[in-house]
Structure 1
Amino acid sequence: MVLGIGGFGTVYKGWVEEKTLSPSKNGTGAIVAIKKLNHESVQGFQEWQSEVNFLGRLSHPNLVKLLGYCREDNELLLVYEFMQKGSLENHLFRRGSQPLPWALRLKIAIGAARGLAFLHSSDDNVIYRDIKASNILLDGNFNAKISDFGLAKLGPALGMSHVTTRIMGTYGYAAPEYIATGHLYVKSDVYGFGVVLLEIMSGLRALDTNRPAPQHNLIEWAKPLLPNRKKIKTVMDERIEGQYSTKAAMVFAQLVLQCIQQEPRKRPHMTQVVDTLEQINSITAKI
């Protein structure tokens, strides 16, 4: 029943009674995903606690639901709603998977952006800190939900611009100011989301040493091409050719460039990112 294995531990598929959420026989009741702590994980307990703290009190259609948790001796478990379509990462990059249509990529991007916008505008000003394609899960209708709050932090206190913290997260998605100084801004999430948007439009991973040397780092390779109307096609995933207009591609490229600005204050707020993605969706719907 193993669904996946990550840094935190192993994720299993299980079943619970619909009303009581007590365990039921395999194949009966509601399907759930159960994350079990790896005992060797140094960060394990802190990440488990962070998940319980954040998902235990935050609720939004674009955040994965935490249904329950358990701590018994060394055993730490988290029980989530089951996401039938798996992760965005699998759909974009797994060999043999059907390429996601452009319209579906936009739907997923909008859902994930709404989830982040909610976190940033919540009373606590939550900084998610680990936005990447593998942490964006999809339900049966390809609705995107952000999962894995093990690295999330409460945003800066009143009057402060950032939180200083030990550098964690995923190389390739982490914002330059965070890597350089350990200063974590709400806009650090926006940079990571810009990287995800670039993966969505290109169908390429943020980092991949199997590509030709100039293309190892997706941001470095694509950044000079994105403002150029004639070169934008080289960045767009060739598997979705004909599904988007040049105008939609250009607006999308501009949004990526805004999100990955070097200076955090120059990046848009996630609410603005949602608005722009919805505009691109409207342009696409008219094709």
Structure 2
Amino acid sequence: MLSFFKRKKNEDEKIKRTGSDHAVSAKDLLHIDGATTEGNPDEEVYPELSLHPDWNIPIEQEYVFRFLNNELPPLKPNEVSLNGIEIEKKEKAIVCTAFVRSSIDQTIEIGTTPLLLIGENEIYGRKEFDLTQVGHLPPRSSRPFQFVFEEKDLYKPISAIQTENWGLVFELQRENRNHTLDLAESWEKTLAEEDKEKLRKMVESMTPPKPGEVQFVGIQAKFTNEGKLLVSLLIQNGTQQNIKLQQLPLVVEDASGDIVAQGGFILDDFEIKANTSKPWNFVFPASLLTKDVNEIDLSSWRVYPPQE
């Protein structure tokens, strides 16, 4: 399961985790307050290792899990956490190994839950996992488990995902999700108040993305005097985390369904706040057009990343 043994060249090489730690309250995740309401809320709980009863692993690997679990920070009472162990890149998937830990004084079972795969200040992907496969988690225990994100679950190419400073996060469902407009500073300064209000009303009138989804909505497409194709896009962040896009490949189709433009854009410190929509302009020079300008019909059109 783990690749530690493949990497370890000598006994002095230290075994260490590459993932981060993320804890949530049992009330928010499981809608329970825990088995007891008494006790010290500031108590430090160190969950003990619990291997899945169906697992049959070598004693050496059990030792590694036990060692890593003993190195984990304590939890507060009535918490559930995901503590990243390692991330491994496959040809068409990312495999994350992590501890699922509980500081609750009762056996729990986690159902289907959306998880975010995050990096440093960005979201790599999202997937709903059936965590009943983790099994019944004994009181105050810690169980290793593997989470597989396929290409369709990722927001960026596998090659761009870092194997250090990553983490898994429970995406908690929030009530009263008010999706709002997020304007870049440059747009705030240059856009007329009337246009800002139009964008706000547009965002308010639209069905927001599903929890955890990032979607792209075309606002306007037109040709400039220089023959370039200017596409205004609304990038909608339906997650509860701020996300950063470093590069964005886009494809534009016209009314006939033909691809009329295709190219990649490098974005400089481009962040979309949690649960907001941010507009941005993308300019396709003539060299990126795949159809003669005079034959492009923009009476209806759509734009999307080619991974979709």
TM-score past 0.5 threshold: no
* Structure with the largest fraction of strand: 2
The structure that has the greater radius of gyration is 2
Normalised to the residue count of structure 2, the TM-score between the two structures is 0.24
Normalised to the residue count of structure 1, the TM-score between the two structures is 0.25
